[in-house]
Chains A and B, each alone.
Chain A
Amino acid sequence: MIQLAGTALVGILEEALDRHGKSPQAALQVLMSVQRALHHVPDEAVEYLSSRLSLPPVRLRGLVSFYSFLSRTPQGEYVVHLSDNITDQMRGSRKLGDALCERLGVRLGETRSDLRTSVHRTSCIGMADQGPAALVNYRPVTRLDDQRVGLIADLINARVRLEEWPPEFFRVESNIRRSDVIFRKPIEPGAALRASLDRGGKNLEAWEEDLAPTDARRHQLERGGAETLKEIYRAELRGRGGAGFHAGIKWQSVREAARDDRYVLCNADEGEPGAFKDRVLLTDFADMVFEGMTVCGHVVGARKGIVYVRQEYAYLHDHLQGVLERRRARGLLGTNILGSPLDFDIELHFGAGAYICGMETAMIKSIEGRRGIPRRRWPLPVHQGYLKAPTVVNNVETFACAAAISARGGAWFAGIGTPQSTGTRLFCLSGDCERPGTYEYPMGVTIREILRDCGALDAQGIQVGGPSGALINRGDFDRAVCFEDLPGVGAMMVFGPKRDLFDAITNFALFFQHESCGLCTPCRVGTTLLANYVKKFERGVGSPVDIAEVKHISSLMKNMAHCGLGQSASNHLMDSLQKFPHIWESRMKTQEFVPAFDLDWALEEARSLTGRTDPAAHLPARP
């Protein structure tokens, strides 16, 4: 046991408070720092922080129990989280995980008795193009194989500091295989902002001459924002985070809000299994993302932006802070941006392991330092969002597109893609394809074209848009990816001709069961029931009666669940029943209802307690 002298503990806690501040919004950030330093959040820490943050202990305990990377009980000094997406499993992650546990002498989900290490499974960590992957102390290790797993076990057993591990273990590739008009030649830092400010009527030199923010200059700033908003409208930019809502409408609502404190939030939670484009954008195009947020700040009159980054991408912290620093130094962030009266700055905020925090109102709560549970839909975030102030929430890619639009004009953007889906889109290809990675295409590209380029024309099926999207078969390959036809985030997991797709839907069902936040009954109970039905079929005891039940539960969830997670958590099951019925039928050994468990087994405990062996002490499997 690590015995913490009281003063050492206080030192660690105070350091976390110094780094993140003592506002209630800092609570989650502080706890994650404590988790990293102590490998758990001990009860004494909760007590201490509760008085320092002026929050009741139960509020902090609520955070520890909600977020999967926080734990109340001690984890090992080396915490391994094995990415358990279907794409990892298809490359043998389960076996590798077992081998790792064996070499470490620890059981999955447990902590070794000397507190050296713990091994867990976790939802996709955003490395589907270079899996199997894992987080070791929240740093991604990619391309796991037997050799790498063996070395990792040795390094942990020998207690080698992570800094001294072979750097190639931590190498994360961007794997950009195809780029198109937006990302082939990213805009110069400052170009979008300059264009936005210039729309106010004065050229930049004039802006820079005299810093005094006179009424006339404020008026110009205002006009510039209004003109840029027109460009966003002209571009018909729609959100890239899933729902495809028009960015212009959102921005205008916040711009017209009656309050002066407004916020711009960038959603970099990217929790959808199989998605990783936001990671690539934050890695290679961070300037464009930040610039898009700043342009948004100009348009809506916000002074502060926050990027909500999933903990799995926390390894990008220093890189992102570096880009922010550089932008401040170049006058692209901070006060009097490019010499104009525009003030805007950006903060980073990190999650702690929860898919639901990508849902916008859950994200807002998480940034406020609360459990990430979606709130009621109205009032919309544009009216009452972060700290009840009018708030724009957009995806990483949406902001990058906005920057390009400001720099190059809405008409240019609108000329790309299809009438209702303008611009280009990033696709994340993973699974059974020759060249997994990120691909940029104009909207409206067909599935077949993408498959041809990534080397997967023999695929039998594709999960488009992650588990909450659509499972399609060969008959759909000529469909176009755009809001008019096949919408959804650009995550595409490819299943080759030899795969058993039942493995995939099992993985997805368990994913939703794990990630349901538990607020509403249709989803909390529904996701568990659906996972149980899938397991029932896996055991060969499913029947048409159960299929009818799966359909019934699915329709209840679609209609009654509180948020998008529950509403879409059964899509993969419905799609598979329709497009791949044989994976269900081949497991259907009976037409009659059979219990999911063995009735005779259910008497075993009573038999052993009573020592009875008479015929009445048994139940036949079937009546």
Chain B
Amino acid sequence: MTKATVATCSLAGCFGCHMSLLDIDEKLLDLLQLVEFDRSPINDIKHISRPVDVGLVEGGVCNAENVHVLQEFRRMCKVLVAVGECANTGGVPSMRNGVSLKRCLEQSFIRGLGIEGAQIPDDPELPLLLNRVRPLHHIVKVDYFLPGCPPSADAFWRFLTELLAGRDPALPRELIRFD
């Protein structure tokens, strides 16, 4: 049996979702029987090398680089999954959406305490920030939304195994209730 290919990345996220994926513990070995990882922080591959079956994207879209990465994922992944609250809704980083980018940057780099040589960074190496933090589906078509902050290890496991078995990966209630 040929293994399914999976790519993952974290955009404006905290890597908590990736940690939760690793949290499937010994099932990780079972998972590796099923899939092969392409680009992922787990193996430090920087670009997707070939079309893959499943893309798991953690985090929202806060800057130009996030947009490029997300577009690459959309181009290369047959199935694209928004993983976790940040990817689904913008999450914690999108709390800045209530404040203008100007105020946000000025507070951080000009008016903040103990700042020397106050200046908003303009190095071309740095990706420019979008005026608002966006969930993935504002930028590209998303096929599945995996909720949770982070989604539990069981949710990852269940979702991936069902999807790879060609079944509808709808999660049972106990995996998507958080109270």
Tell me the A residues contacting B by CB distance below 8 Å: 545, 593, 595-597, 599, 602-607, 609-612, 614, 616-617, 619, 623
Of the candidates A596, A604, A606, A616, which one forms a contact with B124 in the assembled complex, judged by CB atoms under 8 Å apart? Answer: A616
Of the candidates A545, A603, A609, A617, which one forms a contact with B120 in the assembled complex, judged by CB atoms under 8 Å apart? Answer: A609
A611 to B64, CA, bound (A): 16
Question: B108 to nearest A CB, angstroms?
Answer: 12
Residues of chain B lying within 8 A (CB to CB) of residue A604? 131
Q: Indicate if the CB atoms of B139 and A595 lie closer than 8 Å.
A: yes
Is B101 part of the binding interface, using a Cβ–Cβ cutoff of 8 Å?
Answer: yes
Contact (A612, B128) CB under 8 Å given A603-B64, A605-B101, A606-B101: yes
Q: Indicate if the CB atoms of B64 and A616 lie closer than 8 Å.
A: yes
Contact (A617, B130) CB under 8 Å given A599-B67, A605-B102, A609-B101: no
A616 to B126, CA, bound (A): 9
A617 to B120, CA, bound (A): 15
A607 to B122, CA, bound (A): 9
> Which 5 residue pairs across A and B have the least CB separation, nearest first?
A610-B122, A623-B71, A593-B141, A606-B128, A602-B130
Of the candidates A602, A603, A609, A623, which one forms a contact with B75 in the assembled complex, judged by CB atoms under 8 Å apart? Answer: A623
Residues of chain B lying within 8 A (CB to CB) of residue A616? 64, 124, 127-128
- Told that A606-B128, A617-B64 touch, could you supply 17 new A-B pairs with CB distance under 8 A? A545-B141, A596-B138, A597-B138, A599-B139, A605-B101, A606-B129, A606-B130, A606-B131, A609-B105, A609-B120, A610-B120, A610-B122, A616-B64, A619-B64, A623-B72, A623-B74, A623-B75
User: Whose C-beta in chain B lies nearest to the C-beta of A602?
Assistant: B130
Q: Indicate if the CB atoms of A593 and B124 lie closer than 8 Å.
A: no
Of the candidates B67, B101, B124, which one forms a contact with A617 in the assembled complex, judged by CB atoms under 8 Å apart? Answer: B124
A612 to B71, CA, bound (A): 23
Is B117 part of the binding interface, using a Cβ–Cβ cutoff of 8 Å?
Answer: no
Question: B138 to nearest A CB, angstroms?
Answer: 6
A595 to B137, CA, bound (A): 8
Is B140 part of the binding interface, using a Cβ–Cβ cutoff of 8 Å?
Answer: yes
A622 to B127, CA, bound (A): 18
A612 to B100, CA, bound (A): 19
A619 to B72, CA, bound (A): 14
Q: Indicate if the CB atoms of A609 and B102 lie closer than 8 Å.
A: yes
Residues of chain B lying within 8 A (CB to CB) of residue A595? 138-139
A138 to B97, CA, bound (A): 38
User: Whose C-beta in chain B lies nearest to the C-beta of A609?
Assistant: B120
Q: Indicate if the CB atoms of B141 and A603 lie closer than 8 Å.
A: no
Question: A207 to nearest B CB, angstroms?
Answer: 63
Residues of chain A lying within 8 A (CB to CB) of residue B132? 602
Complex interface residues of chain B between 73 and 121 (CB less than 8 A to chain A): 74-75, 100-102, 105, 120-121
Task: List 20 interface pairs A-B (beta carbons < 8 Å), by A numbering.
Answer: A593-B140, A596-B138, A599-B67, A599-B139, A603-B130, A604-B131, A605-B102, A606-B101, A606-B128, A606-B129, A609-B105, A610-B122, A611-B122, A612-B128, A614-B124, A616-B127, A616-B128, A617-B64, A623-B74, A623-B75
A616 to B127, CA, bound (A): 7
A15 to B64, CA, bound (A): 61
Question: A120 to nearest B CB, angstroms?
Answer: 26
Question: B72 to nearest A CB, angstroms?
Answer: 8
Residues of chain B lying within 8 A (CB to CB) of residue A603? 64, 128-131
Residues of chain B lying within 8 A (CB to CB) of residue A611? 122
A545 to B139, CA, bound (A): 12
Residues of chain B lying within 8 A (CB to CB) of residue A612? 122, 124, 128
A593 to B80, CA, bound (A): 13
A290 to B141, CA, bound (A): 57
Among B67, B72, B105: residue with most chain A CB under 10 A: B67
Question: A597 to nearest B CB, angstroms?
Answer: 8
Residues of chain A lying within 8 A (CB to CB) of residue B101? 605-606, 609
A597 to B140, CA, bound (A): 12
Of the candidates B67, B100, B141, which one forms a contact with A619 in the assembled complex, judged by CB atoms under 8 Å apart? Answer: B67
A439 to B71, CA, bound (A): 57
User: Whose C-beta in chain A lies nearest to the C-beta of B122?
Assistant: A610
Residues of chain B lying within 8 A (CB to CB) of residue A610? 120-122, 128
Q: Indicate if the CB atoms of B128 and A617 lie closer than 8 Å.
A: yes
A605 to B75, CA, bound (A): 28
A605 to B128, CA, bound (A): 10
Question: B21 to nearest A CB, angstroms?
Answer: 26
Question: A575 to nearest B CB, angstroms?
Answer: 26
Residues of chain B lying within 8 A (CB to CB) of residue A619? 64, 67
The interface bits of chain B over 132-149 (1 if a CB of A lies within 8 angstroms of the residue's CB, else 0) are: 100000111100000000
Question: A329 to nearest B CB, angstroms?
Answer: 60
A604 to B100, CA, bound (A): 13
Residues of chain A lying within 8 A (CB to CB) of residue B141? 545, 593
A38 to B127, CA, bound (A): 53
User: Whose C-beta in chain B lies nearest to the C-beta of A623?
Assistant: B71
User: Whose C-beta in chain A lies nearest to the C-beta of B124?
Assistant: A614
Residues of chain B lying within 8 A (CB to CB) of residue A599? 67, 139
A462 to B64, CA, bound (A): 46
Residues of chain A lying within 8 A (CB to CB) of residue B100? 605
User: Whose C-beta in chain A lies nearest to the C-beta of B106?
Assistant: A609
Question: B88 to nearest A CB, angstroms?
Answer: 13
A597 to B132, CA, bound (A): 11
A602 to B72, CA, bound (A): 19
Residues of chain A lying within 8 A (CB to CB) of residue B122? 610-612
A612 to B124, CA, bound (A): 7
User: Whose C-beta in chain B lies nearest to the C-beta of A549?
Assistant: B137
A597 to B71, CA, bound (A): 15
Question: A292 to nearest B CB, angstroms?
Answer: 49
A593 to B74, CA, bound (A): 11
A614 to B125, CA, bound (A): 10
Residues of chain A lying within 8 A (CB to CB) of residue B75? 623
Among A593, A607, A610: residue with most chain B CB under 10 A: A610
A167 to B131, CA, bound (A): 52
A227 to B150, CA, bound (A): 66
Question: A261 to nearest B CB, angstroms?
Answer: 40
Question: B36 to nearest A CB, angstroms?
Answer: 25
A616 to B74, CA, bound (A): 20
Question: B97 to nearest A CB, angstroms?
Answer: 12
A617 to B139, CA, bound (A): 18
Question: B135 to nearest A CB, angstroms?
Answer: 11
The interface bits of chain B over 50-82 (1 if a CB of A lies within 8 angstroms of the residue's CB, else 0) are: 000000000000001001100110110000000
